[in-house]
Amino acid sequence: MKKYLIWGISIVAFMVVVLLAAGFYFYDVAIDRSDEPLALHGGKDESIEVFMSEEQSIAEEVIKLWDEANSGKVVEMASDDGLLLKADLVSQPIQSKKAAILVHGYKGNRTQMPGISKYYHDCGYNVLRPDLRGHGESEGDYIGYGWHERLDLVQWIEFLKEETGAEEIVLHGFSMGAATVLMTSGEDLPQEVKAVVADSGYTSVMDELSHQLKYLYNLPSFPIMQVTSLITDARVGYNFTEASALEQVKKNKVPLFIIHGADDELVPTRMAEALYEAANVEKYIWIAQGAQHTEAFTVNQVEYEQRLTEFLDKLN
């Protein structure tokens, strides 16, 4: 009997060690800051040449030239927990009371949104493009997948109000940036925030990382994600379940526009539909046919801008 008890304890101890090792490994891969690219299920293969029509090529060149001429000024802000955060502020030549905060995705930075920056600027908006904590030139040694970043975004909203006198602010994010603006939408926001646009956002950190675990490693989420979540909570102060865009969007009080690619494998399209259903405000959804992750603007810029303009015009 004693022999079997020892064997049982040994097996349990071994399993605990394996789970902890797996948890720390996935923390290092997914949460810890790193400038190295990460392979993701449904991510783009940069080695594959994407076909572009002549019209798309011309539009891309116009955006590139605009971006080179409109980098804006670098602004800084200290987060509530003492991190130095940086952003680009592209102001209107004539004072404007409208402003847009554009939020990049996972392992991205503030320079990666030239097309949508030009769109908002052409529409008369001042444009603020932050580097999220743990990204670009902003400080931070971990990635919060939008949860801690939502509090930084609340601070950027206040900064923008003071800097530009903005009275109409739109939050527009892509991928993790979309989850960030959705998570921000559930906070007690000032009346100047008039709308949220979420392009390719996920429902929660637990849902998205479980999705990645299944397809990249062919592993079930339980109990590895739960252990990784506990490690994350202990090390940086948030867990994967509380970091929920789905729960935050239920508390949102401003109009919402959800955009998602019909062929998105990185963040499944069903997550967009779940987010749309959870919202209890004036809401719109566009599932862009033929678009993969965050590709709706690239695949059909004209329709993207038309639909976005119709949404923003409703705010007036």
Q: What is the pLDDT of residues 51-82, one digit of tens each?
A: 566 667 777 888 888 888 787 899 999 999 99
- Kindly state whether residue 121 falls inside one of the protein's structural domains: yes
Whether residue 155 sits in one domain with residue 276? yes
Whether the predicted pLDDT of 123 surpasses 90: yes
Rounded to whole angstroms, the Cα distance separating 72 from 70 reads: 5
The DSSP bridge partners found for residue 125 are: none
Position 288 scores a pLDDT of 98
Rounded to whole angstroms, the Cα distance separating 30 from 28 reads: 6
Q: What's the mean pLDDT when you consider all of the chain?
A: 91
- Kindly state whether residue 47 falls inside one of the protein's structural domains: no
Whether residue 78 sits in one domain with residue 14? no
Q: Domain range holding 284?
A: 71-204+243-316
- Kindly state whether residue 6 falls inside one of the protein's structural domains: yes
Whether the predicted pLDDT of 248 surpasses 90: yes
Rounded to whole angstroms, the Cα distance separating 63 from 189 reads: 32
- Kindly state whether residue 126 falls inside one of the protein's structural domains: yes
Rounded to whole angstroms, the Cα distance separating 73 from 83 reads: 20
Whether the predicted pLDDT of 9 surpasses 60: no
Whether residue 273 sits in one domain with residue 284? yes
User: In this structure, are residues 235 and 175 in contact, taking their beta carbons and an 8 Å threshold?
Assistant: no
CA dihedral 233, 199, 290, 269 (to 10 degrees): 40
- Kindly state whether residue 35 falls inside one of the protein's structural domains: no
Number of domains into which the chain is organized: 2
- Per-residue pLDDT tens over the stretch 222-231: 899 999 999 9
Position 48 scores a pLDDT of 41
Whether residue 170 sits in one domain with residue 85? yes
- Kindly state whether residue 150 falls inside one of the protein's structural domains: yes
Q: What is the pTM of this model?
A: 0.94
Report helix, strand or coil for 162: helix
Whether residue 220 sits in one domain with residue 277? no
- Per-residue pLDDT tens over the stretch 17-40: 777 888 888 899 899 998 676 678
Domain boundary, last residue among 190, 221, 241: 241
Whether the predicted pLDDT of 144 surpasses 70: yes
Pick from 47-51, 72-76, 163-167, 176-180: least confident:
47-51
CATH value at residue 183: 3.40.50.1820
Position 65 scores a pLDDT of 86
- Kindly state whether residue 56 falls inside one of the protein's structural domains: no
Position 6 scores a pLDDT of 62
Whether the predicted pLDDT of 108 surpasses 50: yes
Whether residue 254 sits in one domain with residue 114? yes
| AA letter at 237 | G
Whether residue 303 sits in one domain with residue 215? no
Whether the predicted pLDDT of 44 surpasses 80: no
Domain boundary, last residue among 189, 218, 241: 241
- Kindly state whether residue 48 falls inside one of the protein's structural domains: no
Position 175 scores a pLDDT of 97
Position 5 scores a pLDDT of 58
Whether the predicted pLDDT of 241 surpasses 60: yes
Whether residue 189 sits in one domain with residue 153? yes
Position 158 scores a pLDDT of 97
Whether residue 191 sits in one domain with residue 223? no
Cα-trace Rg, the chain: 21
Rounded to whole angstroms, the Cα distance separating 136 from 87 reads: 10
Position 24 scores a pLDDT of 87
Rounded to whole angstroms, the Cα distance separating 259 from 111 reads: 21
Residue 90: φ, ψ to 5°: -100, 105
Position 103 scores a pLDDT of 98
Whether residue 189 sits in one domain with residue 297? yes
Whether residue 279 sits in one domain with residue 231? no
Whether residue 9 sits in one domain with residue 105? no
| AA letter at 303 | E
Mean per-residue pLDDT for 105-117?
95
